[in-house]
Amino acid sequence: MKVFVTGADGMLGSSICRELLQQGYAVKAMVIPGRQTNVLNGLSLEIVVGDILDKKFLLEALRDCESIIHVAALTTVWPRRSAKVQAVNVTGTRNVMEAVEELKLKRMVHIGSASSYTHGSKENPGDETSAFTNGRFGMDYIDSKYEAQKMLEERYAKIGFPVITVCPTYMIGPFDSGPSSGRMLIELLMDRLPGYSSGGKNFVCSTDVATAAVNALHMGRLGEAYIAGNENLTYGEFFTKACSVFNKKFGLMKFPHILILLVGLINSVVARLTGKHPKLSYTMARIAGVSQYFSTKKAQQELNMPQTPIEKGIEQCVEWFKSNGYLK
Specify the pLDDT at position 237.
97
Specify the pLDDT at position 11.
96
* Cα distance between residue 159 and residue 261, in whole Å: 46
Residue 166 lies in a domain: yes
Alpha helices in 8-91 (DSSP H): 11-22, 55-61, 83-86
Question: Is it the case that residue 328 has pLDDT exceeding 80?
Answer: no
Residue 55 lies in a domain: yes
Residue 210 lies in a domain: yes
Compute the average pLDDT of residues 177-201: 92
Q: Name the pTM for this structure.
A: 0.96
Residue 137 lies in a domain: yes
Q: CB-based burial of residue 238 (10 Å sphere; 0-12 exposed, 13-18 middle, 19+ buried)?
A: buried
Specify the pLDDT at position 165.
98
Specify the pLDDT at position 6.
98
Q: What is the pLDDT of residues 291-317, one digit of tens each?
A: 999 999 999 999 999 999 999 999 999
Specify the pLDDT at position 241.
97
> Which CATH number goes with the domain that contains 120?
3.40.50.720
Specify the pLDDT at position 34.
86
Residue 87 per-residue DSSP state: I
Residue 83 lies in a domain: yes
**Is the distance from CB of 39 to CB of 9 less than 8 angstroms?**
yes
How does residue 77 score in pLDDT terms, banded at 50, 70 and 90? confident
Task: Give me the percent of the chain exceeding a pLDDT of 90.
Answer: 90
Domains: count for the chain = 1
Residue 93 lies in a domain: yes
Residue 193 lies in a domain: no
Residue 216 lies in a domain: yes
Question: Is it the case that residue 7 has pLDDT exceeding 90?
Answer: yes
Question: Domain range for residue 92?
Answer: 2-175+199-230+293-305
Q: What is the pLDDT of residues 95-134, one digit of tens each?
A: 999 999 999 999 999 999 999 999 999 999 999 999 999 9
Peptide bond into 278 cis (omega under 30): no
What does pLDDT average to over the chain?
95
* Cα distance between residue 264 and residue 282, in whole Å: 4
Peptide bond into 79 cis (omega under 30): yes
